[in-house]
Structure 1
Amino acid sequence: MLQAEAYFDLDALGRYLPLFEGVGAVWEALDRLKNFIKEIIRPNLPTDFLQGVPLAKSLVLYEGKAYCLEDGFDLRLGERPEVLREGRVLHEATLVMAGAVLWGEIELGPGVVVEPGALIKGPSIIGARAEIRQGAYVRGNCIIGEDCVVGHTTEIKHSIMLSGAKAGHFAYIGDSILGLGVNLGAGTKLANLKMRPGTVRILWQGKSYDTGRCKLGAILGDGVQTGCNSVTNPGVLLGPSSLIFPGLAVPSGIYPAKSFLRP
């Protein structure tokens, strides 16, 4: 239960697979994260839009070029904003709406939507069709995979969200890894810092493992779901298809696949 393959379908990780290959314990992927992002990131935003102030105009990235929304595009607002040209929806167009704040090296995949009031610091990679919603705070050294959601008043730092992971409302994700299709209920907090000084240690089968990390949040396997207002203490490793009931504080430790954690 220490290896990455116990938590994630490695065959589905695509370009992010090298981050997990050869690690002795799954949390070691976080030790590699900063350098890994530097190696693979392909920044694709004009420097004029990376000034750390709210954008005055909406930005469209389409077919490898950057445009202002007014340059022949239209915006259709709905549950998810859509970019149109000559009445046709451009599903591969990336939209950064006026009022968003950006700085540093940032890669945005096709079909990404960044809503007004979101703040993204680089280096960060945001995969295709991801949503960075109003009030979201991406603090840097983050990989946010395809079809992910970083929602309203959700903060994420030095973390990985694999494809389809969602944190839609009022969440904190610190020094953590969310597997494929993970869903965090509103108000979920993945705490990453102990109240007492020292590195995070994890007990497994009667042995205490020192992670060597002063900050370590949660490792949530593929398909994990957390209930509203649940909290994981630093150093929680939760196997795939597990559930955390609402309002629960989960102690540090390793929990096997299909665990049902309830008060």
Structure 2
Amino acid sequence: MTLATSPQAPEIFSAAAFFADQGPPAPELFPAGAPVWEGLRGLKDWLEQWHYPAWTHKLGVADGPLPKTMVIYRPEQGSGPATAPVTVIPGEECEITYGSADKGALQVSRGGELLDGASVLMAGTVIMGRRFELGRGVLVESGAFLKEPLVIGDHCEIRQGAYLRGHCLIGRRCVVGHVTEVKHTIFCDDAKAGHFAYLGDSILGPGVNLGAGTKLANLRFAAGEVRIRYPGGQINSGLKKLGAVLGAGCQTGCNAVTNPGTLLGRGSVIMPNTTAPAGYHPPRTMIRQAP
């Protein structure tokens, strides 16, 4: 195959084609006319330029595990960088109902007053660095490892044993699950990787759900940049590391694996115990293990 110059390529690889009208958490990462993986190319710079609030300085821990549960409370928060004062409250001063954060069921009260939108870092959460943004109503469970820089949107749940290795952007109502490793990755709103997953240099579209044990591989055995095969030929991503891009509503079954440079159109499914071939797969594709 030769490198494609087909006019079809920009359209099928656009962010709009993968996310529809639901949109990514940071639209500026996905300029019109650029292929969707350009969001990953610009992610590090975007996170480096983010205005991070100073609440991490109030935790009493520079790098390491939190000795006790802490509540992060900001009375109001807009859609941009936080400007309202942040209060850090020891958890023992609060009454905490540990409902599912992604469903808005996490509740925190203090002295009978509801602290609407308060987030909770449970004792044993490991913090590495200072550059963190935490949205409203976020729950981070004991044993999660958070490495800077990291932006987490409203009502997310970061479960026990999750490993966020830095340069991650997590949208709203997302789940990063038990023993799930995430590196240089974007979660759009309502994306969930609940159990035993690996996500490297990848993008989960809105409403994506990864079955337990899903692995999104990001590095080819052969040296060189990742090229994307599609019906018109192939196109060079320009990236040496590129995992998977899953369009809105995609699902993977348990123990599914994607090869580097796998792009799934909206509503696609990878069946359990199946390895998805690299390249572009159009919307509503079902990938199953060969008989």
Normalised to the residue count of structure 1, the TM-score between the two structures is 0.93
* Matched ranges for 1:126-205 at <5 A: 126-205=152-231
Q: Distance in 1 between matches of 2:275 and 2:114?
A: 44
Out of 21, 24, 27, the position equivalent to 2:31 is 21
The amino acid across from 1:243 in the alignment is V
The amino acid across from 2:95 in the alignment is D
Out of 37, 44, 52, the position equivalent to 2:47 is 37
| Matched position secondary structure for 2:47 | helix
- 1:61 aligns to what? 72
Contact 1:94 1:113 in 2 (8 A): yes
Quote the sequence identity (%): 47
Contact 2:69 2:92 in 1 (8 A): no
Tell me by how many angstroms 1:29 deviates.
Answer: 1.1
Aligned residues: 262
Structure 1 residues 55 and 241, CA, compared in 2 at 3 Å: closer, same or farther? same
Shifted more, 64-73 versus 131-140: the winner is 64-73
- 1:123 aligns to what? 149
Tell me by how many angstroms 1:68 deviates.
Answer: 3.0
Shifted more, 53-62 versus 230-239: the winner is 53-62
Cα-to-partner distance string for 1:161-214 (whole Å, 9 max, x where unaligned): 000000000000100000001000000000001111111111122422111111
Structure 2: state its 5+ residue gaps: 1-11, 76-84
Contact 2:122 2:142 in 1 (8 A): yes
The amino acid across from 1:84 in the alignment is S
Tell me by how many angstroms 1:40 deviates.
Answer: 3.1
Q: Distance in 2 between matches of 1:13 and 1:213?
A: 20
| Matched position secondary structure for 1:156 | strand
- 2:134 aligns to what? 108
Out of 269, 273, 280, the position equivalent to 1:243 is 269
Normalised to the residue count of structure 2, the TM-score between the two structures is 0.85
Structure 1 residues 228 and 88, CA, compared in 2 at 3 Å: closer, same or farther? farther
Contact 1:57 1:68 in 2 (8 A): no
Contact 1:56 1:99 in 2 (8 A): yes
Contact 1:182 1:220 in 2 (8 A): yes
Tell me by how many angstroms 1:34 deviates.
Answer: 0.6
| Matched position secondary structure for 1:46 | helix
| Matched position secondary structure for 2:40 | helix
Q: Distance in 1 between matches of 2:158 and 2:238?
A: 31
Q: Distance in 1 between matches of 2:269 and 2:119?
A: 33
The amino acid across from 1:20 in the alignment is F
Cα-to-partner distance string for 1:71-129 (whole Å, 9 max, x where unaligned): 73122345565322234553400111110011220000010011110011111100001
Structure 1: state its 5+ residue gaps: none
CA RMSD of aligned residues (A): 1.8
Q: Distance in 2 between matches of 1:224 and 1:11?
A: 14
